[in-house]
Amino acid sequence: MTSQDQKPKPEFYRRVLPDGCIAFSSTEGKEIFKEALVSGHMCCYFKMAAQFSTQAEPAFCGLTTLVMILNALEVDPGKIWKGPWRWYHEDMLECCVSLQTIKEKGITYDQFVCLAACNSLEAESTRIDDSASLETFRDHVIRLSRQDDRFIALSYSRKTLGQTGDGHFSPVGGYHPGRDLVLVMDTARFKYPPHWVPLATIWEAMKPLDKSTGKSRGYCIVSKIHKDGSLRLFKLSNSFNVFLPCACTSGVSTFVYKWRECLTKDVVAMSSAHTDHVKPSDNMAIYERVVPSLLNSAGCIAQNECILTTFMDLANFSTEHHALKKSLLQQIECLELYSIVQSVLKSATSRSCLNIGSEGENKVMTSDGGCCGMSSSKRTKISDATLLPAHFIAVFILCWPYELYKVTGTVTVGDKMDSYVTKWMESTTSKEIKDEISQLKRQLLVLLKMRSTNLRQCDPATSRSKPCMTTTLCSVDK
């Protein structure tokens, strides 16, 4: 086929808004804005308008919506965007997600919630099913349109609005109470301008099932966790991936399965299995038994997989962040748990479990910013502090969401560990480490709940997962 025979690719310059959608900049749209402003329901608009962005890729509507909210809520990403400036950009949203995959497929509603949790945000999620209420949604819009510290992100089908395309994300920019209209800040500004839509219509637009998940869409009330919720040093690795059926790679999925078996054991039975009889009330002594089990469970994790990694692009962090990282490590080293982990790691038994050698030390945690294990001779420097395997294991034990594995009528190993962590979190005066642990735990909760929901697609016994779906999650805007 010659170049003359090839069909030219279609190209567009915007689309005409369908009936029922009122352009924000139109005469009617301006009048609606003025009336809504006077009514006091445009408070959310100004911070959102200051960060209004056009999505950089046709499938980036979810990322751009999240970036607008992050910057509107003044969340410090803790790393440099360009020059000396710390600022959120779509390319920085890579927690548990491949940007290349998002470019090809977009993200689902659940994945949007997960990404929000990975970036210092609290996302109160409501899926539009039989339990959802239009009146509750309206109440949220009315209340939050009068605030500027919480925002609503919509996941909806364009088809219901009479627009081209299908799945889309946009933030809410305001509300007109007299006409019951919502201002949709459409991130695809190359296609449609921001526009006013009847609240009942946008509600109906959230109901259609997403073909890639078989679930309806919904809305998230998004807020900042606290004044400074960004992770300082540790983060979940890309082995946790919201696009995988089980939300993690096959090796990590098998590890989670084995680790759960350990945590759900009866603590008395576990104690009686050892000659020194660990007392059920002795919270710290149980870690001497649990840490080797943790390391044994980690044996199924492949060399290119891990759970925790670190922010190691040190050139992109400020001096104050370097100091906080050093302080964080020092606070971890003061923990009694850290001393126990160190002691276990020095034992001959634990060394065999860790498979120390040329292929690396422990496969649960890694500090090289990539996927391979950390070799026994390798020590990562954070400023003038050294990051060791014991740091990763202690942090992992503290941030694991044990409440997911409750067993009715039995005091389990997980119960004792959860009790210790809860008491420590309540008593610690270390804000830095407390914030770090809380944030990591929130991320794990979101991902593990997603994994549990999709577990029917996984086979933990054989450590295999069904292939990921290839359906486009956000429609490419045309």
Q: What is the pLDDT of residue 70?
A: 95
Sequence-separated (6 or more) residues with CB below 8 Å from residue 359 = 303, 373, 375
Number of helical (H) and strand (E) elements in the chain, helices listed first: 16, 17
Which has the higher per-residue pLDDT, 353 or 454?
A: 454
Do 175 and 145 meet the contact criterion of CB atoms below 8 Å apart? yes
Looking at the predicted structure, is the pLDDT value of residue 367 above 90?
no
For the stretch 114-144, pLDDT in tens is: 888 878 788 899 999 888 999 999 999 999 9
* Inter-helix orientation angle 250-263/431-453, to 10°: 110
The confidence score (pLDDT) of residue 283 equals 57
* Residue-level pLDDT at 29: 98
The per-residue pLDDT for 366 is: 44
More confident call, 135 vs 406: 135
List Cβ neighbours of 300 (8 Å cut-off, separation of 6 or more): 251, 254, 255, 258, 463
Q: Kindly indicate the confidence band of residue 189, based on its pLDDT and cuts at 50, 70 and 90.
A: very high
Query: pLDDT at position 171, please?
Result: 98
In this prediction, residues 424-442 reach a mean pLDDT of 83
End-to-end CA gap in the chain: 27
**Type of residue numbered 269:** A
Catalytic residues: 61, 168, 186
Q: How many residues does the chain have?
A: 478
The DSSP result for 385-413, as a single string, is EEE-HHHHHHHHHHH--GGGG--TT--BH
Q: Which of 208-212, 308-312, 322-326 has the highest mean pLDDT?
A: 208-212
User: Does the structure show a pLDDT above 70 at 355?
Assistant: no
Phi-psi region of 277 (alpha: psi -120 to 50; beta: other; left: phi over 0): left
At residue 352, the pLDDT reads 37
Domains and CATH numbers, the chain: 22-224 (3.90.70.30), 234-465 (no CATH)
Percentage of residues in the chain having pLDDT higher than 90: 35
Query: pLDDT band for position 168 (50/70/90)?
Result: very high
Q: Name which residue leads in pLDDT, 406 or 168.
A: 168
Residue 319 pLDDT = 61
Rounded distance between C-alpha atoms, residue 340 and residue 294, angstroms: 13
